């Protein structure tokens, strides 16, 4: 047990759509097969936000349109600004979702890819939610995701939640207990249909409200970081995940605050940290403040003498 940072071992790290610095996952769009491959290599959990295609296939895409991270301008030049959810799954499978990454090199990491990885990136297509769930099931990982309601005129606008549950229950091999269910819409119905899902909230609510909705995890922005709040929630078995933490110093701060997990865009950097960057023993902490007090007293005395 660390003496000043009261954590037994590094907590869980969640990939914000896996590892965008190493492959064309999100970069503020979403997961591609190459990122799933990297995700598997890093042995971490996943955080995603599926859409539902026009014919009812949930898929992973964060942007509202397909313009930025696919070759839609070449394949469907008259539909470049159409909502991504208004495409059928066969249409989405026609798109390349990796060539843009090689062309733009958004993180300056393309040079680190070997020949096989470049080919894999070039041949990427838009992945389905089923792909992700099966991968998580295969490697016994957890998945947290939000859902976005399809636009008006979409055939699944009023049934996107039940359609997603169908994929979890009937089309993938994942156990419901591996899914952290974040969408607040129809939560009572979802809880009734599948009590094994880990109900997760993005709201900073009271313990009573969270328990009433069967919440077992919180997914909060790191600005809500409070050791007191984290411990209060933990006392009633509600764990806390903070997003998006990609800097080692911020990860260290979350670690010392007692956070149970973090969502990051930099798995490859954080996974190597074995202890917080600024870990101190109680003696070192006391010495730091003693020296600070001594130096402060000296400076005050010097200023007083100078003005005297």
Q: Using one digit for the tens of pLDDT, what is the confidence trace for 201-230?
A: 999 899 999 999 999 999 999 988 888 999
Residues 204 and 61 in one domain: yes
Higher pLDDT, 146 or 198: 198
φ, ψ at 198 (rounded to 5°): -85, 105
Q: 281 is written with which tokens?
A: 């023993």
User: Do 136 and 34 share a structural domain?
Assistant: yes
Higher pLDDT, 288 or 137: 137
The vertex-275 CA angle with 235 and 203, nearest 5°, equals: 40
Same domain flag for 263 and 296 = no
The answer to whether 73 and 67 have CB atoms below 8 angstroms apart is yes
Tokens of 68: 């930025």
Verify that 131 and 238 share a domain, yes or no.
Answer: yes
Do the domain assignments include residue 61? yes
Same domain, 251 and 296: no
- Cα–Cα distance for residue pair 92/70, rounded to 1 Å: 10
As for how many domains the chain has, the answer is 2
User: Is it true that the peptide bond before 244 is cis, omega within 30 degrees of 0?
Assistant: yes
Mean pLDDT of 141-161: 94
Q: Is residue 129 part of a domain?
A: yes
pLDDT over 60 at 22, yes or no: no
Give the Cα separation of 7 and 260 in Å (integer).
10
In a domain, residue 216? The reply is yes
Per-residue pLDDT at 9: 37
* pLDDT bucket at 306, cuts 50 / 70 / 90: confident
Is residue 137 located within the same domain as residue 227?
Answer: yes
Q: Is the pLDDT of residue 173 over 60?
A: yes
The yes-or-no verdict on residue 43 having pLDDT over 60 is no
Residues 307 and 175 in one domain: no
User: What percentage of residues in the chain have a pLDDT greater than 90?
Assistant: 50
Percent of the chain, pLDDT > 70?
Answer: 83
How many Å separate Cα 189 from the centre of its chain?
Answer: 25
Task: DSSP for 95-130, please give it.
Answer: S-SSHHHHHH-TTS-GGGS-HHHHHHHHT--PPBHH
* Residue 77 is assigned to a structural domain of this protein: yes
> 229 and 307: one domain?
no
Residue 7 falls within a domain, yes or no? no
In a domain, 4, yes or no: no
Residues 175 and 285 in one domain: no
Is residue 32 pLDDT above 50, yes or no? no
Per-residue pLDDT at 180: 94
Residues 263, 292, single domain; the answer is no
CATH of the domain at 104: 3.20.20.190
Mean pLDDT, rounded, for 170-182: 96
Count of residues making up the chain: 308
Q: Give the domain extent around 308.
A: 281-308
Q: Do 169 and 217 lie in a common domain?
A: yes
Q: In this structure, are 262 and 301 located in the same domain?
A: no
Q: Indicate the SS3 state at residue 181.
A: strand
């Amino acid at each position: 047990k660390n003496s000043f940072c009261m954590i037994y071992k590094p907590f869980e790290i969640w990939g914000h759509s896996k590892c965008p610095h190493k492959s064309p996952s999100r970069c503020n769009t979403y997961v591609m097969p190459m990122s799933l491959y990297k995700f598997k290599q890093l042995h971490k959990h996943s955080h995603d936000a599926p859409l539902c295609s026009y014919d009812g296939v949930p898929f992973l895409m964060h942007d509202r349109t397909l313009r930025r991270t696919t070759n839609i301008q070449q394949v469907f030049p008259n539909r470049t600004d159409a909502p991504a959810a208004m495409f059928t799954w066969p249409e989405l499978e026609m798109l390349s979702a990796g060539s843009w990454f090689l062309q733009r090199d958004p993180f300056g990491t393309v040079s680190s890819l070997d020949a096989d990885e470049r080919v894999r990136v070039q041949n990427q297509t838009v992945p389905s939610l089923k792909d992700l769930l099966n991968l998580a099931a295969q490697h016994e990982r957890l998945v947290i995701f939000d859902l976005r309601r399809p636009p008006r005129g979409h055939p699944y606008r009023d049934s996107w939640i039940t359609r997603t549950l169908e994929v979890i229950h009937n089309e993938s091999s994942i156990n419901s207990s591996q899914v952290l269910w974040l969408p607040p819409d129809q939560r009572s119905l979802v809880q009734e249909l599948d009590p094994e899902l880990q109900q997760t909230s993005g709201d900073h609510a009271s313990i009573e409200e969270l328990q009433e909705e069967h919440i077992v995890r919180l997914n909060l922005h790191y600005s809500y970081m409070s050791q007191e709040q984290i411990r209060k929630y933990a006392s009633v078995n509600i764990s806390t995940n903070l997003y998006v933490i990609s800097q080692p110093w911020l990860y260290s701060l979350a670690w010392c605050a007692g956070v149970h997990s973090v969502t990051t865009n930099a798995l490859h950097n954080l996974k190597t940290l074995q202890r917080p960057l600024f870990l101190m023993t109680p003696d070192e902490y006391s010495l730091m403040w003693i020296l600070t007090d001594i130096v402060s007293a000296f400076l005050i005395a010097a200023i007083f003498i100078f003005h005297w």
